[in-house]
Amino acid sequence: MKTKNTAAVSSQQFEEMELIKKSRNGDTAAFSELVAPYSKRIYNIGLKMLNNREDAADMAQDVLLKIFRNLNRFRGDAAFSTWVYRISVNTCRDILRSSYRQHERLFTDFGEENEQPEYEVADYSALPEQLYEDRESNAYLLALIRGLTPKYRIVMVLREVSGLSYQEIADAVNISVGTVKSRLNRARAAMREKALADAEHNPQLARLINCQ
């Protein structure tokens, strides 16, 4: 069973390498096939990290073009997916940096090891009070994720939305696995604290997050 699995994985990798080779020669159809499994994921990372669909779509297009342009530089010593996530993370960071220059302090330490004080884990000042009364619980949860400061948010998104392992997250964001662990822990604690505080006045929300 185990051998069968690895064989399947390597044949998938082989296929990927073939598509990469074709794409390098300018075969756009091959490239579309190559990135098809990632497009949606990249877009959704953008959707959670940035504020709207337009920005997310622009970001995803930008990432895919960067991949296409730099395919020659992909050496294949790491997984293609890692490389894709890395470019996605960096692109998000660049966009956030340029659009929030005044808060640069919060964003420069994206890949930094030392932890920030607790109060900077999340910033819910922009979250409208009545949002959780909305029937769309998704909107509330999304706002909860977007309320995290970017260095916590990216880890959270890669874990809960993209479903990456700690090691994959560490590679993509360029931090250690230990840092991934502690950031996820802090991010979850901050989100839960906020949700519990909101749920005290709102039974509907309490039901939603299953904490009563």
Partner 1 sequence: MKCEDIRRHFSEYIDLEAPEEIASAIEEHVAACGECRRELEAFRKFNAAIASVGEEELPFDFAVTLQANLEEEKKKGRSRSRSKSRPWLRALAACACLMLVLGVFSLGSSLFGLSMGASAAQDAAASAPMAYAMNGSMKRMDMAVTEDAAPMEEYIIAEEEAPMGDNGFYDEAEVAEVEMEADIDAAEGGSLKRSAGESTVKRKIIKNYSLSLRVEDFDAAYKRISELASEYGGYVVSGNTSDYEGSIVRDGWLSIRVDAERADEVIDHIAELGTIEHNSFSSNDVTSDYYDTQTRLEQYRAQEERLLELYQRAETIEDLISLESEMTRVIAEIESMEGTLRYYDQLTTLSLIDVNLYTPSTYTQTVEPTGWAGFWENVKSGFLRGINNTLDSIASIFIFFVRILPTLILLAAIAMLLLFFFRRGRRGRKEKLPKKEQE
Question: Would you call 113 helix, strand, or coil by DSSP?
Answer: coil
Least Å distance, CB 101 to partner 1, is 26
Residue closest to 208 by CA, chosen among 187, 192, 189, 190? 192
Find the radius of gyration of the CA atoms of the chain: 19
Least Å distance, CB 25 to partner 1, is 10
Least Å distance, CB 90 to partner 1, is 19
- The residue (of 106 and 161) whose beta carbon lies closer to partner 1 is 161
**Residue 195 in contact with residue 205, Cβ under 8 Å?**
yes
Least Å distance, CB 17 to partner 1, is 20
Question: Would you call 122 helix, strand, or coil by DSSP?
Answer: strand
- The residue (of 86 and 188) whose beta carbon lies closer to partner 1 is 188
- List residues binding partner 1 (CB under 8 A): 26, 28, 31-32, 39-41, 43-44, 47-48, 53-54, 57, 60-61, 64-65, 68-69, 137-138, 141-142, 144-145, 156, 159-161, 165-166, 181, 184-185, 188-189, 191-192, 195, 208-211
- The residue (of 96 and 190) whose beta carbon lies closer to partner 1 is 190
- Residue 127 has what DSSP assignment? S
**Residue 34 in contact with residue 12, Cβ under 8 Å?**
no
- The residue (of 16 and 58) whose beta carbon lies closer to partner 1 is 58
- The residue (of 31 and 80) whose beta carbon lies closer to partner 1 is 31
C-alpha distances in Å from residue 107, one per residue of 59, 100, 103, 104: 17, 9, 7, 5
CA 70 to chain centre: 21
Least Å distance, CB 159 to partner 1, is 7
